[in-house]
Structure 1
Amino acid sequence: MSQLYLTTEELAERIKYDPRTIRERLKDSVLLEGVHYFRPFGGRKILYIWSVIEQDMLGHSTNHTLAVPMAGGGVCRG
């Protein structure tokens, strides 16, 4: 299976968010390292896994019972 990996800018264009919002608000609260993104070769560059992000976006829009909103803007998956 072929995965589509996106940079922050490419992801921002795809989901219509500002790249800064992704870096400061979504990364590490909604988008989790090892699930939604990774750092190839242990470097600073971040690549997002589009298929996982798309699946989570579609799943969360129809099923709100799997995530509990947190005061800091994140969610608790339980």
Structure 2
Amino acid sequence: MNMTYLTTEELSARIKYDARTIRNSLKDNVLLEGKHYIRPFGGRKILYLWEAIEQEMLNNTADTVAIPMARGGVCHG
């Protein structure tokens, strides 16, 4: 199984989000360890799994209507 591993900066360039937003808002809220990213060899470095993230983005846009809230949350309406 071929997976594309990306650093935070590489993921940032692909999805057009700031790297700080990925680290502070998306990681562990939307992007989950073991599903969307891994820590190879038990280290601190994080590698994102592009295919899983791309699938998550495509799944969420097709079915749901989400209204962004002031503090970063989402209202599913």
Normalising by structure 1, report the TM-score. Answer: 0.82
Structure 1 distance, partners of 2:12, 2:57, is 14
Q: Note the residue ranges of structure 2 that are not aligned, 5 or more in a row.
A: 66-70
User: Per-residue CA shift, 1:15-38, capped at 9, x if unaligned?
Assistant: 000000000000000000111001
Q: Specify the SS of the correspondent of 1:31.
A: coil
| Unmatched runs of 5 consecutive residues or more in structure 1 | 66-71
d(CA) in 2 for partners of 1:56, 1:2:
18
Which stretches of structure 1, 4 residues or longer, exceed 4 Å deviation after superposition?
Answer: 72-75
Aligned partner of 1:9 in structure 2 is: 9
Change (3 A) 1:11 1:53: same
Letter in 2 for 1:33: E
Task: Give the alignment's TM-score, normalised by structure 2.
Answer: 0.83
The 3-state SS of whatever aligns with 2:20 is helix
Conserved? CA contact 1:29–1:74, under 8 Å: no
Matched residue count: 72
The 1:58/1:36 distance shift into structure 2, 3 A limit, reads: same
Indicate conservation of the 8 Å contact 1:37/1:48, yes or no: yes
Q: Select the structure of larger CA radius of gyration.
A: 2
